[in-house]
Amino acid sequence: MHEEDDAEVRSILERIASYYGFVPRIYQELQRNPEAFKAFFYKNEQLATDRTLPGLTKELIAIGAAAALGSEYCLDTHVEGAKRLGALEDQIFLAILLGASVAESTALSKSLRAWQR
């Protein structure tokens, strides 16, 4: 890793830690490849800072997606982010239920289509 990459990666890790209070595992792993790490971070930073939706709404969407995908690390990260932004326990619970419901419906619809073939 070039010294310039190393400094930029350290700076990004500090920004991530200041937001979540820790560095999520995905960033810990991705820093092995600085270019992929930076691309992933800057894409997600753009989405996170876009003001079209409030931050809490984005965190609740991410909770639902993490629940749908069964991603425990992402779920932990976004639950913490949502709590930091003032989410109520009922909001987090509903986001998890909605995500799980989407995953269940997707699995059921795919299975029924396969069965019908």
Q: Tell me the one-letter amino acid at 112.
A: L
What would the two tokens of residue 10 be?
């350290």
Within 10 Å of residue 87's Cβ, how many Cβ atoms? 21
* 19-62 tens-digit pLDDT: 888 899 999 999 999 999 999 999 999 998 999 999 999 999 99
Cα separation, 95 vs 51, in Å, equals: 20
What would the two tokens of residue 71 be?
């991603």
Q: Model pTM?
A: 0.82
What would the two tokens of residue 18 be?
């200041």
* 57-88 tens-digit pLDDT: 999 999 999 999 999 999 999 999 999 999 99
CATH number, domain 53-117, options 1.20.1290.10, 3.30.479.10, 3.30.360.10, 3.30.110.40: 1.20.1290.10
Instruction: Specify the domain boundaries for CATH 1.20.1290.10 within the chain.
Output: 53-117
Whether the pLDDT of residue 1 is over 60: the answer is no
pLDDT at 31: 94
